[in-house]
Amino acid sequence: MPELPEVETIRTGLEPYLTGSGICDVEILYPKVLKDAEPEEVRKRICGQKGVSLKRRGKYLIWELSSGDRLVFHLRMTGQLVLTDPQEDIRKHTSFIIRLDAGLELRLTDTRKFAFMYLWKKERESPPGSLGELGPEPLEEGFTPVYLRGLCTDSKTRIKNLLLDQAKIAGIGNIYADESLFRAGINPRTPAGELSAADLERLHRTIREILREAIAYRGTTKRDYLDGFGAAGAFQERLLVYGRKGEKCVRCGRDIVRSVLGSRGTYYCPVCQREKAPKKNKGRE
DNA sequence: CGGACAACCTGGTTGC
DNA sequence: TGCAACCAGGTTGTCC
């Protein structure tokens, strides 16, 4: 579910509440939510600590505590990290509850149970999981047209698969990959190395545009995504291809198509994102 | 290196 | 209505 814009929306919402308030209790209802620690250890280690900052890197959220330890969250497909009134019923599929001294609870609810939390201890240098292997943030300075061209040059990987590779660019998922490629007029199956400098310039621009707009609209709610207060996003209204199989392309009127690429559903316009003609054989006409 | 696919889970939708 | 098949904003590991 949540890609960069959704995680960023959660972050900005929760930040004022999670910085400054203290943790008074932790309840782990689904122990597998912890990847590398036991519930009791987590409880002992974080109770009594205060939140210092809440940061985002790619699709990860990193909550730094006064002890120097950090809680690292990844919501995967259906995870919802919501600040909740303790009076509210505990929803089905709630993985953990972190009680704050401000009289609120941070709850993770996750139907598919793929979401997880790491306890990143202060004495550990290397970031847990793939957090340390992420590519640059697409909205920051390191992501330049030159960088994107560097990734693509001589690459046989289809451009959509490249955009989804978190080690190359952090935070793009299935929705925004399809939307960026549509706006740039690029077929998702194109081998990255075949794209021209102009194509990549356009793609670089559309990626940034889409992500910024989606943040402004507080993310895309197709089904499960909710922000840190339990509210849906609004960008689903602005999607031009994702989830619109059989609907008319806004640009040319042809039907949007769904195909499978890298075992992910992929939506595109077969006219506006036509596959490039195969290269002609040299010599013959 | 690149691609295909299963695994981790549950539930909603579609089609017969 | 029933039931099976297919689908899902992600990531990781295995196999070819």
CA distance A178 to A240: 9
Residues 55-74 on chain A lying near strand C, CB distance under 7 A: 58-59, 74
Is the Cβ atom of A174 within 7 Å of strand B at any atom?
no
Q: Which among A3, A6, A105, A179 is annotated as catalytic?
A: A3
To the query of whether residue A3 is one of the catalytic residues in this protein, the response is: yes
Is the Cβ atom of A3 within 7 Å of strand C at any atom?
yes
The gap between A106 CA and C7 C1' (Å) is 30
- Quickly count: other Cβ atoms within 10 Å of residue A87's Cβ: 6
Q: Which of A251, A268, A272 is nearest to A260 (CA)?
A: A268
Question: How wide is the angle at C-alpha A236 spanned by C-alphas A232 and A238, nearest 5°?
Answer: 135
pLDDT surpasses 60 at A283: no
- The radius of gyration of chain A's CA atoms, rounded to the nearest angstrom, is 21
To the query of whether residue A2 is one of the catalytic residues in this protein, the response is: yes
- Residue-wise DSSP of A239-256: -SSTT-TTSBPTTT-PBP
Give A29-71 pLDDT, tens digit per residue. Answer: 999 999 989 999 999 999 999 999 999 999 999 999 999 999 9
Torsional class of A3: left (φ above 0), alpha (ψ -120 to 50), beta (otherwise): beta
Residue A95 burial by Cβ neighbours in a 10 Å radius (0-12, 13-18, 19+): buried
**What pLDDT, on the 0 to 100 scale, is given for residue A285?**
26
Is the Cβ atom of A246 within 7 Å of strand B at any atom?
no
A283: which 2 tokens? 């010599």
What is the model's pTM?
0.96
Give A145-196 pLDDT, tens digit per residue. Answer: 999 999 999 999 999 999 999 999 999 999 999 999 999 999 999 999 999 9
To the query of whether residue A212 is one of the catalytic residues in this protein, the response is: no
List, in sequence order, every beta strand (DSSP E) within A58-160.
Answer: 60-65, 70-74, 79-84, 94-100, 105-110, 116-120
List chain C nucleotides near protein: any atom < 7 Å from a Cβ.
7-12
Q: Which of A218, A256, A212 is nearest to A235 (CA)?
A: A218
Q: Which among A11, A59, A168, A244 is annotated as catalytic?
A: A59
- Residue-wise DSSP of A170-220: SS--HHHHHHHHHHHT--TTSBGGG--HHHHHHHHHHHHHHHHHHHHTT--
